[in-house]
Amino acid sequence: MLALHLLENVKQRGGKTIAACPACRAAGGDKKGNHLFIKSLDGSGKFGCAAHEGDNAHRKEIFALVGIHEKRELTPEEKRQWVKERHRERLRITEQENLTRRIQEILEKKLAPYVSTDWQANLRQASPIRFEHPEAAPHDFITSLFKPDDILWLGEIGDSGKQEHAAHFKTCREWLRIDRLPPRIAGGTFHTGSISRGKDSVNTSPFILIESDDLIGHKPSTPKERERNKALSSALIAYAQDKLGLNLRAVIDTGNRSLHAWFDRPPEPEMNAIRKMAAGLRIDQSILESCQSSPLRMPHCIHEKTQTPARLLYISPEH
Q: Where are the domains of the chain?
A: 4-66, 76-109, 115-315
- Render pLDDT for 67-88 as a digit per residue (tens, 0 to 9): 655 455 778 888 888 888 888 8
Q: Distance between CA atoms of 241 and 25, rounded to whole angstroms?
A: 63
Q: How far apart are CA 301 and CA 156, in angstroms?
A: 10
Identify the pLDDT of residue 127: 94
- The answer for residues whose C-beta is within 8 angstroms of residue 31's C-beta and 6 or more apart is 25
Count of C-beta atoms within a 10 Å radius of residue 10? 15
Q: What is the 3-state secondary structure (H, E, C) of 13-63?
A: ECCEEEEECHHHHHCCCCCCCCCEEECCCCCCCCEEEHHHCCCHHHHHHHH
Q: What pLDDT is recorded for position 189? A: 98
Amino acid at position 109, single letter: K
Q: What is the mean pLDDT of residues 248-261?
A: 96
Listed residue (247, 230, 240) closest to 144, CA to CA: 247
Cα 66 from Cα 4, distance rounded (Å): 8
Cα–Cα distance for residue pair 18/22, rounded to 1 Å: 12
Q: What is the pLDDT of residues 93-110, one digit of tens each?
A: 888 888 888 888 989 999
DSSP tag of 302:
B
User: Domain 115-315's class?
Assistant: alpha beta
Which is more confidently placed, 146 or 34? 146
pLDDT at 187 over 80: yes
Closest CA to 315 of 233, 252, 253, 244: 252
Query: Does residue 266 contact residue 245 with C-beta atoms inside 8 Å?
Result: yes
pLDDT for 57: 82
Q: Say if CB 237 and CB 251 are below 8 A apart.
A: yes
Q: Which residue type occupies 295?
A: P
Q: 37 and 18 in contact (C-beta within 8 Å)?
A: yes
Is 61 or 260 the better-scoring residue by pLDDT?
A: 260
Looking at every residue in the chain, the average pLDDT score rounds to 88
pLDDT tens digit string along 36-74? 777 655 445 577 788 787 778 887 787 777 765 545 577
Is pLDDT at 184 greater than 80 in this prediction?
yes
Give the residue-averaged pLDDT of 308-318.
93
Mean pLDDT of 192-198: 97
C-alpha closest to that of 176 among 209, 145, 208: 145
Give the pairing of strands 151-155 and 47-49.
unpaired
For the segment 272-277, the average pLDDT, to the nearest whole number, is: 94
Whether 232 and 216 have beta carbons less than 8 Å apart is answered as yes
Inter-residue contact 200 to 193 (CB < 8 Å): no
Beta pairing partners, 48? 37
Residue of higher predicted confidence among 131 and 170: 170
**Lowest pLDDT segment from 124-138, 163-177, 220-234:** 124-138
What is the rounded average pLDDT of the residues 208-236? Answer: 95
308's enclosing H/E stretch is none
The pLDDT score that the predictor gives to residue 17 is 78
Q: How many residues does the chain have?
A: 319
End-to-end C-alpha distance for the chain, whole angstroms: 65
What's the mean pLDDT in 256-271? 96
Region for 8 from its dihedrals, namely left if φ exceeds 0, alpha if ψ lies in -120 to 50, beta otherwise = beta
pLDDT more than 90, % of the chain? 62
Please check the confidence at residue 16 and state whether its pLDDT lies above 80.
no
